[in-house]
């Protein structure tokens, strides 16, 4: 058979394009269902998860989808209500007949979804479950890099970091919201600080949603600690620091566990504040070109979505990791069967954007170790400062 020059060129182009262009997803879409609190008290965080997941699904489809099929993300609004989360996951599995489910946001909603997942033998990856001991279902897997015992591991991370401060603290004031996860960690911190020979000079608990931080600020000022432990999340650290500013007080050093990152940048008194994270948008995290590209895309999409803080950090990273884990498990097993996927995860490790996730400990967690880091607000930027291998280039605790 004679091959013409034109045919030879066409064949060559086809072979070349198969290397250059990504595989095209074909066939019936794989439907992955989840809820997020798009309205209600947790909506400010849900939008970060939504934008991140949309990027993940787009990228996944550009790479050829899963098992050669396109991926469709079926997202519903759970209105920050766990009882509604339960109902919607039930609908996603029984009425929408999704192939797989993904994580809702926050402990209470994840717990609600976990019950449904267990009833229907669905694997549940979750991003933000604050009380691991309550995760009894054997096909649940966290993708946040958190340990089985955060009430021990996280206070130790923070006090390890605080020990590197120019003036290591000796006296601690613990002020914590009763929001379940941060409260549990703060209770643990009280035990940890005793074991480390530190002195607790104040312990206060307040209701989540507190409006007036004036008296709390005055009590911290009165106690005069070396270090303020803020068992706080969301906007509470900002409100607390502003109340302190009004009475001309600033703690010598402080941690706020999970602050809303954007608003903290605008508060001068927050400079130097420590917080927990898994990922920040700087090297070594962004050394991987794919992750650097994600950081860039996220910044663009977050801006379009009206999110004031457009850097990738803890919240977007844990959602990104959830999709990385799902993709790794499906690709490795070539299966959408929940039991097959769960069995693979239990014995495997998945490299995600902030380290290597494992599930070989109690209740699919790892005890005594995690992928969390300590960041510090320095000159208007959040920089990881502890542990050293993940620290931003040249960054030191100040």
Partner 1 sequence: MGGPGSEDRLTVPSATLLGQSVLSGVFIGALYGLLGLGLSLSWGMLRQVNLTHFALAFLGGYLTFQLAAVAKVDPFVSLAVTVPLFFGLGVALHGFFTRFKVTLLNTLLVTFGLTSIIEAGIQWYWTADFQRMESAYAQVRWKIGPLYLSLPDVITLGLALALCFGTWAVLRFTDLGKAIRAMTEDAPIAAAFGVDEKRLGYLVSGVAGAFAAVAGVCLALDHTLAPVQIYAWMGVVFAAVMMGGLGRPLGPLVAGIVIGVSEALTMAVTAPTWAPLVSFSLLIAILLFRPSRF
Q: Which of 310, 273, 379 is nearest to 47 (CA)?
A: 310
Tokens coding 180: 């379940």
**Nearest distance, CB of residue 204 and partner 1, angstroms:** 5
**Nearest distance, CB of residue 360 and partner 1, angstroms:** 37
Distance CA 395, CA 262 (A): 20
**Nearest distance, CB of residue 222 and partner 1, angstroms:** 5
Determine contact, residues 85/112, Cβ cutoff 8 Å.
Answer: yes
Of 289 and 306, the one with the shorter C-beta distance to partner 1 is 306
**Nearest distance, CB of residue 135 and partner 1, angstroms:** 27
Question: Residue 247: CB partners within 8 Å, gap ≥ 6?
Answer: 214, 217, 218, 221
**Nearest distance, CB of residue 269 and partner 1, angstroms:** 12
- Residues in contact with partner 1 by CB under 8 A are 38-41, 43-44, 46-47, 173, 178, 199-207, 209-212, 214-216, 218-225, 234-235, 238-239, 243, 246-248, 260, 262-263, 266, 305-309
Of 40 and 272, the one with the shorter C-beta distance to partner 1 is 40
Of 243 and 295, the one with the shorter C-beta distance to partner 1 is 243
**Nearest distance, CB of residue 183 and partner 1, angstroms:** 10
Of 306 and 394, the one with the shorter C-beta distance to partner 1 is 306
**Nearest distance, CB of residue 47 and partner 1, angstroms:** 6
Of 215 and 387, the one with the shorter C-beta distance to partner 1 is 215
Phi, psi of 87 (to 5 degrees): -65, -45
**Nearest distance, CB of residue 261 and partner 1, angstroms:** 11
Mark residue 70 as left, alpha or beta (left: phi above 0; alpha: psi -120 to 50; beta: remaining). Answer: beta
Provide the pairing of β-strand 254-259 with 355-358: unpaired
Of 146 and 233, the one with the shorter C-beta distance to partner 1 is 233
Of 221 and 381, the one with the shorter C-beta distance to partner 1 is 221
- Residue holding tokens 């209600």? 40
**Nearest distance, CB of residue 197 and partner 1, angstroms:** 13
Q: Which of 294, 296, 291, 237 is nearest to 267 (CA)?
A: 237
Distance CA 84, CA 109 (A): 9
Distance CA 332, CA 3 (A): 40
- Exposed / middle / buried, residue 233 (Cβ in 10 Å: 0-12, 13-18, 19+): buried
Of 155 and 355, the one with the shorter C-beta distance to partner 1 is 155
Tokens coding 3: 């091959």
Of 159 and 390, the one with the shorter C-beta distance to partner 1 is 159
Other CB atoms within 10 Å distance of the CB of residue 164: 14
Distance CA 316, CA 322 (A): 10
Q: Which of 232, 228, 268 is nearest to 252 (CA)?
A: 228
């Amino acid at each position: 058979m004679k091959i013409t020059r034109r045919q030879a060129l066409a064949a060559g182009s086809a072979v070349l394009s198969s290397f250059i262009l990504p595989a095209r997803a074909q066939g019936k879409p794989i439907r992955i269902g989840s809820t997020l609190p798009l309205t209600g008290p947790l909506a400010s965080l849900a939008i970060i998860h939504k934008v991140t997941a949309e990027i993940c699904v787009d990228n996944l489809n550009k790479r050829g989808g899963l098992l050669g099929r396109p991926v469709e993300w079926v997202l519903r609004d759970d209105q920050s209500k766990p009882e509604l989360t339960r109902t919607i996951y039930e609908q996603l599995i029984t009425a929408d007949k999704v192939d797989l489910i993904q994580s809702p946001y926050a402990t209470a909603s994840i717990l609600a979804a976990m019950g449904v997942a267990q009833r229907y033998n669905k694997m549940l990856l979750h991003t933000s479950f604050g009380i691991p001991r309550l995760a009894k279902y054997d096909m649940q897997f966290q993708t946040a890099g958190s340990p089985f015992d955060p009430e021990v591991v996280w206070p130790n991370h923070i006090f390890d970091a605080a020990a590197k401060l120019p003036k290591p603290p000796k006296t601690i004031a613990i002020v914590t919201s009763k929001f379940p996860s941060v409260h549990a960690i703060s209770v643990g911190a009280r035990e940890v600080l005793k074991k480390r020979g530190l002195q607790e000079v104040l312990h206060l608990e307040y209701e989540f949603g507190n409006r007036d931080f004036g008296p709390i600020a005055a009590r911290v000022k009165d106690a005069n600690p070396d270090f303020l432990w803020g068992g706080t999340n969301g906007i509470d650290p900002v409100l607390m620091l502003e109340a302190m500013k009004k009475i001309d007080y600033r703690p010598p050093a402080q941690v706020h566990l999970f602050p809303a990152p954007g608003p903290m940048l605008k508060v001068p008194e927050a400079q130097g504040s420590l917080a927990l994270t898994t990922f920040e948008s700087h090297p070594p995290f962004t050394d991987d070109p794919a992750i650097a590209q994600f950081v860039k895309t996220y910044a663009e999409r977050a801006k379009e979505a009206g999110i004031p803080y457009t850097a990738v950090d803890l919240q977007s990273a844990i959602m990104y990791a959830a999709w990385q884990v799902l993709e790794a498990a499906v690709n490795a097993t070539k299966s959408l069967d929940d039991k097959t996927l769960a069995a693979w995860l239990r014995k495997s490790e998945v490299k995600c954007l902030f380290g290597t996730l494992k599930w070989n400990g109690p209740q699919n967690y790892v005890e005594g170790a995690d992928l969390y880091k300590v960041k510090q607000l320095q000159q208007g930027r959040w920089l990881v400062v502890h542990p050293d291998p993940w620290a931003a280039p040249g960054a030191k605790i100040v």
